[in-house]
Structure 1
Amino acid sequence: MPEMPEVQGLVEFLRARVTGLTFTKASVTAFSALKTYDPPIDALVGSAATGVERHGKFVDVATTGGIHLVFHLAKAGWLRWYDVLPSTIIKPGKTPIALRVGFDDGSGFDLTEAGTKKSLAVYAVRSPADVPGIARLGPDPLDAGLDRDAFAALLAGRRTQIKGVLRDQSIIAGVGNAYSDEILHAAKMSPYALAANLTEAEVDTLYAAMITTLTEAIDAARGKPPADLKDAKRRGMRVHGRRGEACPVCGDEVRSVFFADNSLEYCPTCQTSGKILADRRLSRLLK
Structure 2
Amino acid sequence: MPELPEVHALVADLRSRLVGRQVARFQALSFAAVKTFDPPLGALDGGSVLDVRRHGKFLDFAVDDLHLVVHLARAGWIKWRNTAPAASAGRPGKGPLAARLVLDEGDGFDITEAGTKKSLAIYLVRDPSEVEGIARLGPDPLEGYSEEDFAALLARSGRAQIKGVLRNQSNIAGIGNAYSDEILHVARMSPFKPAAMTPEETHRLFEAMQTTLRDAVARSEGLAASELKREKKSGLRVHGRTGEACPVCGDTVRQVIFHDSTLQYCPTCQTGGKPLADRVLSRLLK
- Is TM more than 0.5 here? yes
Q: Is the 8 A contact 1:26 1:99 kept in 2?
A: yes
Equivalence map 1:49-64=2 (5 Å): 49-64=49-64
SS at match of 1:156: helix
Q: Is the 8 A contact 1:239 1:247 kept in 2?
A: yes
Q: Is the 8 A contact 1:259 1:281 kept in 2?
A: no
Equivalence map 1:18-33=2 (5 Å): 18-33=18-33
1:25 Cα offset (Å): 1.1
Tell me the equivalent position of 2:166: 166
Tell me the equivalent position of 1:271: 270
Tell me the equivalent position of 1:213: 212
Whole-angstrom distance in 1 between the partners of 2:280 and 2:30: 33
SS at match of 2:201: helix
Equivalence map 1:239-278=2 (5 Å): 239-278=238-277
Unaligned runs of 5+ in 2: none
Tell me the equivalent position of 1:86: 85
SS at match of 2:209: helix
1:119 Cα offset (Å): 0.3
1:84 Cα offset (Å): 1.2
TM-score normalised per structure 1: 0.96
Amino acid at match of 2:232: K
Give me the CA root mean square deviation: 1.1
SS at match of 2:207: helix
Q: Is the 8 A contact 1:49 1:63 kept in 2?
A: yes
| CA deviation string 1:167-188 (max 9, x = no partner) | 0000000000000000000000
| CA deviation string 1:40-92 (max 9, x = no partner) | 1110011100000000000001122x011110000011111111131241211
Whole-angstrom distance in 2 between the partners of 1:213 and 1:229: 16
TM-score normalised per structure 2: 0.96
1:93 Cα offset (Å): 2.4
Aligned CA distance change for structure 1 residues 60 and 95 (closer, same or farther; 3 Å): same
Matched, 1:177 2:177: yes
Amino acid at match of 1:156: A
Tell me the equivalent position of 2:96: 96
1:6 Cα offset (Å): 0.5
Amino acid at match of 1:124: L
Whole-angstrom distance in 2 between the partners of 1:246 and 1:283: 27
Aligned residues with identical type, % of pairs: 58
Amino acid at match of 1:154: L
Matched, 1:45 2:45: yes
Tell me the equivalent position of 1:232: 231
SS at match of 1:102: strand
Tell me the equivalent position of 2:6: 6
Q: Is the 8 A contact 2:69 2:128 kept in 1?
A: yes
Tell me the equivalent position of 2:136: 136
Q: Is the 8 A contact 1:239 1:254 kept in 2?
A: yes
Return structure 1 stretches of 4+ with deviation > 4 angstroms. Answer: none
Q: Is the 8 A contact 2:56 2:174 kept in 1?
A: yes
1:227 Cα offset (Å): 1.0
Q: Is the 8 A contact 2:49 2:62 kept in 1?
A: yes
Unaligned runs of 5+ in 1: none
1:283 Cα offset (Å): 7.4
Whole-angstrom distance in 1 between the partners of 2:131 and 2:14: 20
Q: Is the 8 A contact 2:258 2:282 kept in 1?
A: no
Tell me the equivalent position of 1:157: 156
Moved more, 235-244 or 97-106: 97-106
Q: Is the 8 A contact 2:26 2:101 kept in 1?
A: yes
Equivalence map 1:68-87=2 (5 Å): 68-87=67-86
SS at match of 1:74: coil
Whole-angstrom distance in 1 between the partners of 2:207 and 2:83: 43
SS at match of 2:8: helix
Aligned CA distance change for structure 1 residues 115 and 131 (closer, same or farther; 3 Å): same
Q: Is the 8 A contact 1:85 1:109 kept in 2?
A: no
Aligned CA distance change for structure 1 residues 283 and 89 (closer, same or farther; 3 Å): closer
| CA deviation string 1:241-274 (max 9, x = no partner) | 0000000000000000001011000000000111
